[in-house]
Structure 1
Amino acid sequence: MRLRSLLFVPGDSDKKFARAATTGADVLILDLEDAVAPALKDEARAKVAGWLDRAGEVPAALFVRVNPLESGLTEADLRAVVRPGLAGILVPKANGAHDIATIAAMIDPLETACGMAVGTVRIAVVSTETPQAMFALGSYTPPHPRLVGLTWGAEDLAAAIGATDNKEPDGSWTEPYRIARALCLFAAASAGVAPIDTLYADFRDAEGLERDCRRARRDGFTGRIAIHPDQVETINRCFTPSAEEIAHARRIADAFAANPAAGTLGIDGKMYDIPHLKAAHKTLASAGESA
């Protein structure tokens, strides 16, 4: 499952779902949480269930962002949406891996009841939205069998700790959120799941989004949340290796495959070792190629 671009879609808007389905996003996150007013939750559940029944018509994996465990609404969300067509769940405001185990246990019987193999529905986690979560990022290793990705969030965390702002005057994150971003990246790498960068709020700033995506990929993130259809093309382009990068990675992989006992090799006049080989394998995997 490719987790390069993940576009949020309000769970109560047929019009926005129809547009989102044409963007080329790898994943559509059908949102039952913040995008839906409390009085409209039941209506949105029914609407999202209908979209999932049409999953075969959509060239994207369909995830659902459920309401957090603390809301008391998670189980009702899952009863409505666990059905064929659902690829995964995005869990907000998770406090650690124990929350994922709790939600997975809710999903198990629902999959069985609708004829899905247990484990079909995968789980991605917004891993930094509460103060407790910041001390539990190591709990995702070893990963739950359903876990496929970790992302991070700043707005709910800012509200939880009482921050008056989370950005510097130049638009960069303040220190607490730089720490949250880095720890999410490390936690995902430790668990062996996809590290997914958070959203870029100013959807009109295409240049700023591109700069930020390139920084994110440089640092090790393999995908990004989108909040507007216009952001998807930039995210896809920035997180897709170029032809030159793929060719270079292939040369490294092929050279080590031809010399399996080597720990270091000279390629194109430069020395490469096992960390470079691992990086090459990741580049090829992100391009959909095997090493």
Structure 2
Amino acid sequence: MRSFLFIPGDSPKKLEKGLGSGADALLLDLEDSISPQNKAAARDTTLAFLKEAVPVKARPRIYVRINGLQTGLTDSDLDVIVGGKPDGVMFPKAEGGAAVTHCDAKLAAREAIHGLPDGALDIIAIATETAQAIFLAGTYGGSSKRLKGLTWGAEDLSVELGAEANRDRDGHFLAPYQLARSLCLAGAAAAQVQAIDTVYIDFRNEAGLRLECEEARRDGFTGKMAIHPAQVAVINEVFTPTADAVKRAEAVIAAFAENPGAGTVGIGGVMYDRPHLERARQLLARAKAFQK
């Protein structure tokens, strides 16, 4: 998945529009975009949408961002939404693998109640929203077979740190948030799950979004969250391997196939080694996944 579009879980109109946004995944939000007094109504609205949208064959994957364990609202969220059979949950303010294991157990109990197979719902965890979470970013491996991705966030973290800002005047993340980004990326690699970049909040700034997507792709992220449908097309474009990239990857794979015992091969005056071969295979797998 390349694009993950947040949609407030209390807006039937926005939820319906999300289906036509082109996003690979919708993130139906019960957390930050919902006021405390609207949580219960948002659960009901989200459930009604799930019952309508999930049975549709040609649709994006649908996740629900629940409220974190620290809020005391997680159980109430899951009691309602699991029956709607979403593809999974986005687990905010996750504090390491133990928290994901805890979430897994909660999901398993609700799956049993609703007659769903164990493991039917996936988990995508937001790994850097608290100071404690930063020190646990390397603990997600083996926490749950449900875990399919790690992402990160700067907004809640900046509040917890007492920071005045999380970006500099040029729009680049400041040092504490660059650290969080890097730890999320490494944590995802260690857990062998997808690394998903955080949101770009200036949704009218297409050039800034494109640059941030390109930097994320360069570093190893394979998708990005969005806060507005206008961001989806750019995210999908940047995280889809280009024809030139596919051609280079195919050439690397072909060269090693012709020389199976080689540790390195030369193509056009450039030397490639075994890590390049694995990278080429990963790129072709992503390209194949996004073919229409």
TM-score if structure 1 supplies the norm length?
A: 0.95
| Secondary structure class of the residue paired with 1:245 | helix
Task: Work out the CA distance in 1 between the residues paired with 2:289 and 2:200.
Answer: 29
- Considering only aligned residues, what root-mean-square deviation do their CA atoms show, in Å? 1.5
Deviating more after overlay: 257-266 vs 180-189: 257-266
The answer for the alignment partner of 1:200 in structure 2 is 200
Q: Deviations for 1:177-228, whole angstroms, at most 9, x for unmatched residues?
A: 1111111111111111111000000000011101111111011110000000
Q: Where in structure 2 are the equivalents of 1:92-111 lying within 5 Å?
A: 92-111=92-111
Q: How many residues align?
A: 288
Indicate the residue corresponding to 1:63 in structure 2. Answer: 63
Does 2:156 align with 1:156? yes
Q: How does 1:23-38 map to 2 (within 5 A)?
A: 23-38=21-36
1:246 partner amino acid: V
- Equivalent-residue separation in structure 2 for 1:237 and 1:243 (angstroms): 12
Structure 1 pair 268–198 and aligned structure 2 pair: CA distance change class (3 A): same
Whole-angstrom distance in 2 between the partners of 1:180 and 1:101: 22
Measure, in 1, the Cα distance between the counterparts of 2:92 and 2:26.
Answer: 16
Q: Is the 8 A contact 1:84 1:114 kept in 2?
A: no
Partner of residue 11, structure 1: 9
What is the CA-CA distance between 1:243 and the residue it aligns to? 0.8
CA distance in 2 between partners of 1:21 and 1:172 (Å): 31
Once the two structures are superposed, the pairs formed by residues 164-179 of structure 1 within 5 Å of their partners are 164-179=164-179
> Which residue number in structure 1 is paired with residue 181 of structure 2?
181
Corresponding residue number in structure 1 for 2:130: 130
SS at match of 1:266: strand
Matches within 5 A, 1:65-104: 65-83=65-83, 85-104=85-104
Shift of 1:170: 1.1
Q: Post-superposition shift, 1:113?
A: 2.1
Partners of 2:33 and 2:285 in 1: CA distance: 33
- Structure 1, unaligned runs of 5 or more: none
1:84 shift after superposition = 5.4
Q: CA deviation at 1:256?
A: 2.0
Aligned counterpart, 2:44: 46
The amino acid of 1:95's aligned partner reads E
1:250 equivalent in structure 2 = 250
Aligned to 2:216: 216
Runs in 1 of length 4+ with deviation above 3 angstroms? Answer: none
In structure 2, how many angstroms separate the alpha carbons of the residues matched to 1:289 and 1:167?
34
- Distance apart, 1:56 and its partner CA: 2.8
Equivalent-residue separation in structure 2 for 1:280 and 1:59 (angstroms): 29
Which segment drifts farther, 215-224 or 265-274? 265-274
Letter in structure 1 aligned against 2:185: L
Output the CA distance in 2 between the equivalents of 1:289 and 1:42: 37
- Looking at structure 1, the residues matched to 143 and 23 of structure 2 have their Cα atoms a distance apart, in angstroms, of 25
Give the TM-score normalised by the residue count of structure 2: 0.95
- Asked if the contact 1:24/1:59 (under 8 Å) is kept, the reply is no
1:56 partner letter:
P
Given the superposition, is the C-alpha separation of residues 224 and 278 from structure 1 closer, same or farther in structure 2, using an over 3 Å criterion? same
Conserved? CA contact 1:62–1:85, under 8 Å: no
Extract unaligned runs of 5+ from structure 2: none
| Alpha-carbon displacement from aligned partner over 1:103-154 (angstroms, at most 9, x marks no partner) | 1101112112222211111101110000000100111123521111111101
